[in-house]
Amino acid sequence: MRSLSSLFKGQRLVKKKRFTRTKVYRKYSSGEHGKEDPKVNVDSEDFIKKVAPGFEDYKQFKNQFLSQAFTGKPVDIPQDLETRFYMARKNMELSGASAEDLDTMQKNFKKMTPKQQKIVDEVIKKRDQVFQDVMNKYKNVDFSPILSRFNMTAEQTFRSETEPVRVAVTGAAGQIGYALIFRIASGAMFGPKTPVILQLLEVPQALNSLKGVVMELDDCAFPLVRGIVATDSPEKAFEGADWALLVGAKPRGPGMERSDLLQQNAAIFSVQGKALNKVAKGKNTRVVVVGNPANTNTYITSANAPLIPPQNFAAMTRLDQNRGITQLAINLKCNINDIKNFVIWGNHSATQFPDISHARLKDKLLTDLVDKKWYTSTFIPGVQKRGAEVIKAKDGKSSAASAASALVDTVYDWYNGTKGRWASLAVYSSGEYGVTKGLFYSYPVIHNNNSWGIVEDLPIDQFAAEKMEQSHQELLQERDAVANLLK
Q: Give buried/exposed letters for 405-419 (b at 16+ CB in 10 A, else e).
A: bbbbbbbbbbbbbbb
Query: With respect to ligand NAX, which residue has the nearer C-beta, 10 or 387?
Result: 387
Per the CB < 8 A criterion, the answer to whether 288 and 314 are in contact is yes
Q: How many residues bind ligand NAX (CB under 6 A)?
A: 29
Q: Is 199 in the site for ligand NAX (CB under 6 A)?
A: no
Paired strand residues for 315: 289, 426
Q: Is 10 in the site for ligand NAX (CB under 6 A)?
A: no
Per the CB < 8 A criterion, the answer to whether 289 and 313 are in contact is yes
Minimum distance from residue 142 beta carbon to ligand NAX (Å): 38
**Residue choice 96, 171, 310, 417 for contact with ligand NAX (CB under 6 A):** 171
Minimum distance from residue 345 beta carbon to ligand NAX (Å): 15
> How far apart, in Å, do the first and last CA atoms of the chain sit?
67
Amino acid at 147: L
Minimum distance from residue 89 beta carbon to ligand NAX (Å): 38
Q: Is 201 in the site for ligand NAX (CB under 6 A)?
A: yes
Q: Is 185 in the site for ligand NAX (CB under 6 A)?
A: no
Query: With respect to ligand NAX, which residue has the nearer C-beta, 97 or 179?
Result: 179
Q: Is 217 in the site for ligand NAX (CB under 6 A)?
A: no
Minimum distance from residue 254 beta carbon to ligand NAX (Å): 14
Selected range binding ligand NAX among 86-94, 355-363, 397-405, 460-468, rule: CB under 6 A? 397-405
Amino acid at 290: V
CA atoms within 13 A on the CB side of 354: 27
Q: Is 180 in the site for ligand NAX (CB under 6 A)?
A: no
Selected range binding ligand NAX among 128-136, 174-182, 304-312, 339-347, rule: CB under 6 A? 174-182
Query: With respect to ligand NAX, which residue has the nearer C-beta, 93 or 413?
Result: 413
Residue with nearest beta carbon to ligand NAX: 174
**Residue choice 104, 292, 302, 418 for contact with ligand NAX (CB under 6 A):** 292
**How far is the C-alpha of 130 from the C-alpha of 133, rounded, in Å?**
5
Nearest to 434 by CA among 329, 346, 312, 369: 346
Q: Is 399 in the site for ligand NAX (CB under 6 A)?
A: yes
x/- mask, ligand NAX, residues 293-332, rule CB under 6 A, reads -x---------------------x--x-------------
Alpha carbon of 349 to those of 44, 292, 300, 471: distances in Å? Answer: 51, 9, 17, 8
Strands 286-289, 313-315: pairing is parallel
Q: Is 398 in the site for ligand NAX (CB under 6 A)?
A: yes
**How far is the C-alpha of 290 from the C-alpha of 294, rounded, in Å?**
5
Q: How many residues does the chain have?
A: 487
**How far is the C-alpha of 362 from the C-alpha of 111, rounded, in Å?**
45
Query: With respect to ligand NAX, which residue has the nearer C-beta, 52 or 172?
Result: 172
Sequence-separated (6 or more) residues with CB below 8 Å from residue 202? 170, 171, 172, 173, 209, 210, 230, 231, 232, 248
Q: Map residue 228 onto helix, strand or coil.
A: strand
DSSP 376-395: IIIIHHHHHTHHHHHHHHTT
Sequence-separated (6 or more) residues with CB below 8 Å from residue 90? 42, 47, 51, 58
Query: Is 348 designated active site?
Result: yes
Selected range binding ligand NAX among 57-65, 196-204, 222-230, 430-438, rule: CB under 6 A? 196-204
Q: Is 268 in the site for ligand NAX (CB under 6 A)?
A: yes
Q: Is 206 in the site for ligand NAX (CB under 6 A)?
A: yes
**How far is the C-alpha of 200 from the C-alpha of 173, rounded, in Å?**
9
Selected range binding ligand NAX among 76-84, 160-168, 291-299, 302-310, rule: CB under 6 A? 291-299
Selected range binding ligand NAX among 29-37, 42-50, 288-296, 463-471, rule: CB under 6 A? 288-296
Q: Is 173 in the site for ligand NAX (CB under 6 A)?
A: yes
Nearest to 61 by CA among 43, 40, 82, 79: 43
Minimum distance from residue 244 beta carbon to ligand NAX (Å): 11
Task: Catalytic residue, from 348, 358, 447, 472: name it.
Answer: 348
**Residue choice 5, 6, 117, 170 for contact with ligand NAX (CB under 6 A):** 170
Nearest to 425 by CA among 297, 281, 316: 316
User: What residue ranges bind ligand NAX (CB under 6 A)?
Assistant: 170-171, 173-177, 201-203, 206, 247-251, 268, 290-292, 294, 316, 319, 348, 387, 398-400, 403
Active site residues: 348
